[in-house]
Amino acid sequence: MAEDRRIQTGQGSVLARRWHLADGDAALPPILLFHDSLGSIGLWRNFPEALARATGREVIAYDRLGFGESDARTETLDADFIRTEAEHIVPLLCNALGIDRFVAFGHSVGGGMAVHCAALHPSRCVALVTESAQAFVEERTREGIREARELFRDPAQFAKLERYHGDKTRWALSAWIDTWLSPGFAGWSLDAVLPLVVCPTLVIHGADDEYGSAAHPQRIAAGVSGPSFMDILPGTRHVPHREQEAWVAARVASFLQLV
């Protein structure tokens, strides 16, 4: 069963959705999902429910400000937006939803946000899962974004994204493309924050990820201070939870048995 909740942030409201299982264990810390640069609750599709069933835990996803059904944004993202999400928005979510401890699961740029959550909130974040996360700005990432920029100039492709973001779609695209391609973002990395992660970490990456080489999961797994596990999936691109949903859910479930 899914339940929606709107949460005020001081900059606008965000929509959060919780997946409950009748036979789940309410005592287990829930899994908090962080979506990718063009993501939303809707674009997680069936994965949150599959993850809840595999782990027996509550799963929570939310639309970041400017995305999905959350309130719109107009400002340009600064180079520190990944840290800011973990530092300011996540405590508001936890307090509003009554979450004392959680598992952070982040896809793509959401993986960077999840890393910051684990580093900044060590008493709350009991485990970290990154999926297709970028650890630095790689030319392969930038090239993939340039190709996507051309793709979304096609009105049909833009309309597909518009189904999820409505009149916020143009801003969401700019927030991704212009930020990652800007010279001011070129030096961004997770290097300084990774050693602050002391909880167990699972790093998942597709071998054929069009937005990042194996250097990213390798750097994350090697950089955290806590125990880490890494899976690089052959024949898999940037969205393992869609391409191999059952495997990813089962792998996270087995990892969390260690927590």
Return per-residue pLDDT of the chain as tens, 259 residues: 789 999 999 999 999 999 987 777 778 999 999 999 999 999 999 999 999 999 999 999 999 999 999 999 999 999 999 999 999 999 999 999 999 999 999 999 999 999 999 999 999 999 999 999 999 999 999 999 999 999 999 999 999 999 999 999 999 999 999 999 999 999 999 999 999 999 999 999 999 999 999 999 999 999 999 999 999 999 999 999 999 999 999 999 999 998 8
CATH number at residue 77: 3.40.50.1820
pLDDT score for 85: 97
Q: Quick one: pLDDT at residue 21? A: 79
Question: Which pLDDT value is given to residue 180?
Answer: 97
Torsion angle, alpha carbons of 178, 184, 187, 192, to 10? -100
pTM of the model: 0.97
Structural domain boundaries, residue 175: 2-256
One-letter amino acid identity for 173? L
Query: How many structural domains is the chain composed of?
Result: 1
Extract long-range pairs of 96-102: CB within 8 Å, 24+ residues apart.
Answer: 96/5, 96/7, 96/16, 97/5, 97/7, 97/16, 97/18, 97/60, 99/29, 99/30, 99/32, 99/60, 99/124, 100/29, 100/124, 101/29, 101/125, 101/126, 102/29, 102/30, 102/31, 102/32, 102/60, 102/126
39, 131, 189 from 9: Cα distances, Å: 19, 26, 26
* Residue appearing with tokens 């299982």: 21
What is residue 99's predicted lDDT score, i.e. its pLDDT?
A: 96
Which residues have CB under 8 Å from 237's CB, separation 6+?
A: 206, 208, 209, 210, 243
Q: Tell me what pLDDT residue 10 has.
A: 92
pLDDT for residue 202: 98
